[in-house]
């Protein structure tokens, strides 16, 4: 699903790999890649995880292993429990040769070597018992001595290599665009869409903003990200809607409009396509007593009339149009 990521140069330090804790008021959208492998553990945050061509919600305990040069970003959600909320994550970054040129060719490391090869599409472990165990190690990593840090990282990799239920995050092996001008352009497009997805996007004006004709912009985005801009926007909007459904009492109708859908039936359709179930099903999972909302399957004509009256302008663009 991608834009052109920034190349991030990770500074070398005195240790063979980097481990640190992020404590930020928010995880802002920053689409980037680097030649290091990366393990990211979400300690306390909710939002959307973007890896390769995959967009998914994340929460505490989310644990992801990324291979080299996989574009990615964690973007904390629009709903905050308080103005002073801090989002926390532990990040570990290492090169394939961080323990020597042929370390992962050793017989003892063959399962880990296989794990690292598979990480080229991004792997999530937060839903597994192994992931929960490894999360316990990783939370300690930034604060222990360098020797213990190395032992904990290798232990984590060995344990993850034994897990057969890892979730593959990206269907594409995304190759970052090499031209600097293209990198900067696709990144700027995606940053703009992430900042404005709650609004109605005028693709003609968007193409003018980036000095391309509309057809060229759409082809460029599809080539760089593996999906259309409309599909990308729908996934961002559905992800934001899911967080609002869980964390607020706003009506489903209001949420649909708040996250940028101009058509209520299209909101339901896209939500089910992306999540596999309707928005009210998600809300009921977190609010068993909840209430009255209309069925996911059949929208009364009176509701649809209200939607049409409330929201004027262009209808949502379908996925195959852009």
What is the per-residue DSSP string for 2-32? Answer: --PPEE-PPPP-SSSSEEEEEEES------E
Residue 308, pLDDT > 70, answer: no
Query: Tell me, what's the pLDDT at 20?
Result: 92
Residue 292, pLDDT > 60, answer: no
Residue 199, pLDDT > 80, answer: yes
Closest CA to 275 of 249, 250, 248, 296: 296
At 19-32, the pLDDT tens digits run 999 999 888 888 78
CATH number belonging to domain 6-168: 2.60.120.280
- Dihedral sign, Cα of residue 177, residue 42, residue 156, residue 161: negative
Query: Tell me, what's the pLDDT at 148?
Result: 92
Q: What is the pTM of this model?
A: 0.62
CATH number belonging to domain 197-321: 1.10.10.60
Same fold, 6-168 and 197-321: no
Sorted by where each begins, the domain ranges of the chain are 6-168, 197-321
Dihedral, CA atoms, 312, 315, 316, 319, nearest 10 degrees?
180
At 202-239, the pLDDT tens digits run 989 999 999 999 999 998 888 777 778 898 899 888 88
Strand order in the sheet with 47-51: 6-7, 32-33, 72-76, 47-51, 54-58
pLDDT band at residue 111, thresholds of 50, 70 and 90? very high
Q: Which residue has the higher pLDDT, 101 or 156?
A: 156
- Percentage, residues of the chain above pLDDT 70: 79
DSSP state of 318: P
Tokens of 20: 């640190």
Query: Tell me, what's the pLDDT at 28?
Result: 83
What is the 3-state secondary structure of 105-128? HCHHHHHHHHHHHHHHHCEECCCC
Residue 34, pLDDT > 90, answer: no
Query: Tell me, what's the pLDDT at 295?
Result: 42
Query: Tell me, what's the pLDDT at 306?
Result: 37
* Cα–Cα distance, 100 to 121 (Å, whole number): 24
Residue 39, pLDDT > 90, answer: yes
pLDDT band at residue 176, thresholds of 50, 70 and 90? low
Closest CA to 39 of 148, 166, 145: 166
Instruction: Evaluate whether 90 touches 141 at the Cβ level (below 8 Å).
Output: yes
Q: How buried is residue 242: exposed, middle or buried, by Cβ count under 10 Å (0-12/13-18/19+)? A: buried
Task: Tally Cβ neighbours within 10 Å of residue 202.
Answer: 11
pLDDT band at residue 38, thresholds of 50, 70 and 90? very high
Residue 175, pLDDT > 80, answer: no
Which range is most confident: 64-68, 74-78, 194-198? 64-68
Query: Tell me, what's the pLDDT at 180?
Result: 59
Strands 87-94 and 18-24: antiparallel
Q: Mean per-residue pLDDT for 131-144? A: 92
pLDDT band at residue 190, thresholds of 50, 70 and 90? confident
* Cα–Cα distance, 49 to 280 (Å, whole number): 23
Please enumerate in sequence order all residues whose Cβ is within 8 A of that of 235, keeping only pairs 6 or more positions apart, or say none.
Answer: 1, 55, 274
At 69-102, the pLDDT tens digits run 888 889 887 654 455 678 999 999 999 888 988 8
Residue 37, pLDDT > 70, answer: yes
* Cα–Cα distance, 94 to 136 (Å, whole number): 19
- Percentage, residues of the chain above pLDDT 90: 36
> What residue spans of 59-178 are helical by DSSP H?
110-118, 129-140, 146-161
Query: Tell me, what's the pLDDT at 47?
Result: 87
* Cα–Cα distance, 311 to 80 (Å, whole number): 27
Strands 123-124 and 167-168: antiparallel
DSSP E strands: which ranges in the chain? 6-7, 18-24, 32-33, 37-44, 47-51, 54-58, 63-66, 72-76, 87-94, 123-124, 167-168
pLDDT band at residue 289, thresholds of 50, 70 and 90? low
DSSP state of 217: H
Q: Mean per-residue pLDDT for 19-48? A: 89
* Cα–Cα distance, 77 to 197 (Å, whole number): 13
Query: Tell me, what's the pLDDT at 318?
Result: 38
Query: Tell me, what's the pLDDT at 172?
Result: 58
């Amino acid at each position: 699903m991608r834009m052109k990521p920034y190349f991030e140069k990770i500074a070398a330090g005195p240790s063979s790999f980097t481990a640190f804790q992020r404590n930020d008021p928010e995880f802002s959208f920053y689409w980037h890649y680097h030649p290091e492998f990366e393990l990211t553990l979400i300690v306390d945050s909710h939002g959307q995880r973007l890896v390769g061509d995959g967009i998914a919600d994340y929460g505490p305990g989310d644990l992801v292993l990324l291979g080299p040069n996989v574009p990615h970003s964690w973007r904390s959600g629009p709903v905050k429990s308080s103005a002073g909320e801090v989002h926390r994550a532990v990040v570990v970054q290492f090169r394939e040769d961080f323990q020597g040129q042929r370390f992962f060719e050793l017989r003892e490391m063959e399962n880990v070597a296989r794990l690292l090869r598979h990480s080229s599409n991004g792997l999530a472990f937060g839903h597994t018992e192994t992931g929960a165990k490894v999360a316990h190690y990783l939370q300690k990593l930034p604060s222990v001595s360098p020797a213990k840090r190395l032992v904990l990282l290798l232990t984590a990799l060995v344990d993850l290599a034994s897990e057969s239920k890892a979730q593959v995050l990206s269907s594409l092996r995304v190759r970052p665009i090499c031209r600097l001008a293209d990198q900067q352009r696709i990144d700027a497009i995606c940053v703009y869409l992430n900042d404005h997805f709650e609004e109605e996007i005028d693709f003609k004006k968007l193409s003018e903003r980036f000095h391309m004709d509309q057809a060229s912009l759409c082809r460029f985005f599809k080539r760089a990200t593996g999906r259309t801009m409309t599909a990308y926007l729908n996934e961002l909007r559905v992800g934001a809607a899911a967080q609002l459904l869980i964390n607020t009492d706003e009506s489903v109708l209001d949420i649909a409009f708040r996250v940028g859908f101009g058509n209520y039936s299209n909101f339901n359709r896209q939500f089910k396509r992306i999540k596999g179930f309707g928005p009210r099903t998600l809300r009921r999972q977190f609010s068993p007593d909840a209430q009255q909302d209309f069925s996911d399957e059949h929208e009364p004509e009176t509701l649809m009339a209200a939607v049409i009256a409330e929201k004027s302008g262009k209808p949502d663009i379908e996925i195959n149009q852009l």
